[in-house]
Chain A
C-alpha cells in the first residue's frame, strides 16, 4: 500500500462546477498535511495547508479526517485556470520529510 494514495483522474469538470478530491494516508502519526498544485512541466506550488479544524481559502476548502486518515479538497465555482494536478502531501517519520501522492489531474472545460 502506498503511503499517500490519490485517484489519478483525470477529472473532467465543466467550468463553474464544484469538484472534490480525496486522499488517504497510511501513517496515523502524521501531523502535517498540505495540498500542492502542479501545472504541466512546472514545479509544485503550495495551495494550502490542511488544519485539523478544516480551513477555507476563497473557493478552496480543505478537510482532515484523522479517524479515517483522509484529506479532502473541495473547489467551488471552478475556473479554467484551476486545471492542474493536485498533489496531496503528508509528513513522514520526521516532520520535515514530506510524502507525496502521485496527484489527481483536474481538467476544467468551458
Chain B
C-alpha cells in the first residue's frame, strides 16, 4: 500500500499521560500536514512541514503539542499531559510541491480517547 499510513490507529490514555503518533506520508510527497477532527466538524489544521522544516503551526495549538519530521520523511505528533478535550481523530495528510500541491491525501487517522 503506497498511501499515507498512521500508527497507532487507536489510542486510549489516561489524563495527564503523554502520547505520540506517527505518520508515514506518500513517499514522493515532501509536504506533510497534521489535523485534528472532532465529531461533526471538519478537520482543523494543526501544523505543516515542507521536508523537515515546520513552516507553520496553528495559533490555536497548545504548547503541549509538538511535531517533528526529522529526516523529511515520517513525522511524529506528541501530546504532553493529555486532557479530555484532546480526544479526537488526529489526521495526517501529504502532498506534492507542484501547482496542484493543495490537493492533500489523508491517512486513516489515529483516534485518541483520553479518559
Contact = CB atoms under 8 A, between A and B. Distances in A.
Contact of B106 (A32, A45, A49, A94): A45
B53 interface: no
Interface size on B, as a range, is: 20 to 34
B103 A34 contact: yes
A4 B102 contact: no
A100 B102 contact: no
Contacts of B101: 95-96
A98 B31 CA distance: 13
B43 interface: yes
A75 B91 CA distance: 27
Given A43-B109, A94-B56, A34 B102 contact: yes
A98 B91 CA distance: 13
B45 interface: yes
A102 B107 contact: no
A94 B55 CA distance: 11
A79 to B, nearest CB: 23
A18 B43 CA distance: 27
B105 A46 contact: yes
B21 interface: no
B31 A96 contact: yes
A64 interface: no
B58 to A, nearest CB: 9
Given A43-B91, A45-B106, A97 B40 contact: no
A23 B105 CA distance: 21
Nearest to A92: B45
- 6 pairs of A and B residues whose beta carbons are closest in the complex: A100-B42, A43-B106, A32-B102, A100-B43, A102-B42, A102-B41
15 contacts: A4-B42, A34-B102, A42-B108, A43-B91, A46-B103, A49-B100, A49-B103, A87-B42, A91-B102, A96-B33, A96-B95, A99-B45, A102-B40, A102-B41, A102-B42
Interface of B: 31, 33, 40-45, 48, 55-56, 91, 95, 100-109
